[in-house]
Structure 1
Amino acid sequence: MAAVLTAVATTTGCVESGRTVHPDAVQAAAVCPVEPDPSITTTARIAWQAIPNGDLAVKDLRMLETCMPNADITWSKFDSGGDVVQAFGAGSVDLGLVGSSPAVRAVSPPLDIDLRVVWLQDVIGAAESLVVRDESITSVEDLAGRTVAVPFGSTAHYSLLSALRRAGVDRQTELINLAPDKMLAAWQRGEVDAAWVWDPTLSELQADGTVILTSAETAEAGQPTFDMGAATADFVEQNPEFMRMWTATQDSAARRLAAGDDAAIESLAVQLGLSPDIVRKQTEGLTYLSAQEQAEQYFDGTLGRVLADTAEFLVDAREIDTTAPAEVYQQMPYAEAIEEVAGR
């Protein structure tokens, strides 16, 4: 109960500018980081998640709506990457935030959704972590015979699977599929021994739990994870001007977050319903890359290889039955807009 009261206390105050920490409250001044283009009339259905990255700043500051005043843009909230993949499969979203492992699952059999990765929202580090209830659990090996909660199909699920397999206890540990907003109650009832999740749930569980492993460590062991902007191939091909403008806004937001910009942190705080101090701490567990950095480090062929490796891992972990042909993963990264924005 103390954790719940603490969470409530942090979400009912005000941010520094006087805006309440609620996304429907007084809105921030609209911002377009480049010259607006009223000729763009794209209809875009965007999926967003409550994860502290540039997407929330773009949404909060109404960058897309200001940069493309004649576009028809709608935002729909989802709880996990697995849910976003389902929406892609149903044809109900065009573009949205999805983790690297859900994206790979989406393009692999039997789903075979034709997606493009259009942006890396962040490289996941300590922002996603494994937290345990019992102090006697000090290593992943100690999870044998225990129950661990994780949102199935998420990047956290991928990191958990990789850690369990590396420790040799993947077949001795029970995993249960819980959305982040359902975990706290299960934790308090003693139904789970551990959870791999992100904030704000991660911070709530840490009130009486202990982090024993982070996604930064699984990345160092060879299984990096990312939060990505993904779009259907048809949408990307039919809307290149929209994609260039969308990428320019994401680049601006990423640069501001990487620099620790107060206004960008405030935007995330409003969208997440948390205090700026908590959000700033959360952002320290993620790495935000500019368009130029992404072009040089990932959209040069590297990302396609990482996605193909992720698919092979998911097959070995029996999370998907088989991989798609290698060229499917190699063609996922859409570099054109990123390279153009990087060259400005």
Structure 2
Amino acid sequence: MNSPLKISRRQLLAATAGTAALAGAPAVWSQKKDRVLRVGNQKGWLSLLKGRGTLEKRLAPLGVQVAWTEFNAGPVQLEALNVGSIDFGDVGEAPPIFAQAAGAPLVYAGATVPRPALEAVIVPKTSALRSVADLKGKRVALNKGSNVHYFLVKLLQKHGLQYADVQPVFLAPADARAAFERGAIDAWVIWDPFLAAAQKTLDARLLADATGVVNNRAFYFTSRDFATRNADVLKIAIEEVNAVDAWVEKNKPAAAGELSSLLGLERSVTELFVGRASYGTAVVTRQILAEQQQIADTFFDLKLIPKKINLLHAAPVDLA
């Protein structure tokens, strides 16, 4: 488990990818006595951070307030970042690639360890589909541009299929769940806690998770402008995220109970995804940027993004 992180302003900016595309990003924030960190979060670890109020306590001496907005998926979080509505958030592997290809002012502030068990392809319990190969020609629901988008591409390739061999149905998690329940789709590619909820409350059957296919890291992001002007705030934010990670790893039953209350989910649901997660948050290294580059190249080859992007020129971040 990683110790609390010590990140300098130089290190945060070193994690920037797509520098040329971001050079003209407008300066939205100015350094003021009273500042606000606007956090966009999904259902998960940031929900624990929000519920505990520890980030607010750490930032109060700096005159920084915290405002929270919950999103149902990464792509909409990054849209909010692009229009200047949030400053910090959590996202899967794939959404940053789409955002960077579109010129979003994205900076990688941190990354988790691989967590492949937290995303999977599921089918109804009574489905005739028994293997990934059986997905050929089938209607597969997924959130476009999310972490599961890349997972599906690589999973199909591993089993001798191409992305074009399935019929993608792009649906947000709530709409996909509804379609799954009424039999309008054949399979659903989804992440936790939506995955665990479908397994526990819909009796969904897991066809394949991402183990041995993709890493499924989560990333914490910010904008170039915010990082330039508020490196002290981001340093504390990443330290607090890492502290939550460390606590959950050592206190899974308690964390499951806390998340159950915060997210309004059954205890069995939070126990399932807390129990199969891996824990640890660190700054972004060159190796992690190389993983992101592979995703970017894959999406370009599939014509899912309009242009090639280069992430590997960014200097690695270390904890020295």
* Common fold: TM-score over 0.5: yes
Q: Secondary structure at the match of 2:152?
A: helix
Partner of 1:232: 223
1:141 partnered with 2:126: no
Residue identity matched to 1:205: A
Pairing partner for 1:87 from 46, 69, 80 = 80
Pairing partner for 2:103 from 82, 102, 112 = 112
**In 1, are the aligned partners of 2:82 and 2:105 still within 8 Å (CA)?**
no
1:211 partnered with 2:202: no
Q: Secondary structure at the match of 1:325?
A: coil
Q: CA deviation at 1:315?
A: 1.2
CA distance in 2, matches of 1:171, 1:265: 39
Partner of 2:289: 304
Q: CA deviation at 1:79?
A: 0.9
TM-score, scaled relative to structure 1: 0.76
Q: Secondary structure at the match of 1:217?
A: coil
Residue identity matched to 2:121: L
What is the RMSD computed on CA atoms of the aligned residues? 2.4
Partner of 2:307: 322
**In 2, are the aligned partners of 1:82 and 1:153 still within 8 Å (CA)?**
yes
Q: CA deviation at 1:227?
A: 1.5
**In 2, are the aligned partners of 1:311 and 1:323 still within 8 Å (CA)?**
yes
**In 2, are the aligned partners of 1:56 and 1:267 still within 8 Å (CA)?**
no
Partner of 1:19: none
Q: CA deviation at 1:269?
A: 2.2
Q: CA deviation at 1:242?
A: 0.6
CA distance in 2, matches of 1:86, 1:287: 28
Partner of 1:202: 195
Matching of residues 198-277 of structure 1 within 5 Å: 198-206=191-199, 207-219=202-214, 224-277=215-268
Worse-matched range after superposition: 122-131 or 233-242: 122-131
CA distance in 2, matches of 1:198, 1:177: 15
Q: CA deviation at 1:161?
A: 1.7
**In 1, are the aligned partners of 2:123 and 2:204 still within 8 Å (CA)?**
yes
Q: Secondary structure at the match of 1:284?
A: helix
The runs of 5 or more residues in structure 1 that have no matched partner are: 1-32
**In 1, are the aligned partners of 2:48 and 2:244 still within 8 Å (CA)?**
yes
1:106-160 CA distance string (max 9 Å, x none): 112xx11121111224532222110113532111111111101111111011101
Q: CA deviation at 1:86?
A: 1.2
1:164 partnered with 2:149: no
Q: Which has the higher contact order (CA 8 A, sep 6+)?
A: 2
TM-score, scaled relative to structure 2: 0.81
Pairing partner for 1:72 from 47, 65, 75 = 65
Q: Secondary structure at the match of 1:43?
A: strand
1:60 partnered with 2:51: yes
Partner of 1:26: none
CA distance in 1, matches of 2:197, 2:271: 16
CA distance in 2, matches of 1:46, 1:324: 26
CA distance in 2, matches of 1:229, 1:42: 20
1:227-265 CA distance string (max 9 Å, x none): 111000111111111112112211210111122354443
CA distance in 2, matches of 1:247, 1:260: 20
CA distance in 1, matches of 2:299, 2:181: 31
The runs of 5 or more residues in structure 2 that have no matched partner are: 6-31
**In 1, are the aligned partners of 2:252 and 2:275 still within 8 Å (CA)?**
no
Query: What percent of counterpart residues are identical?
Result: 22
Q: CA deviation at 1:105?
A: 1.6
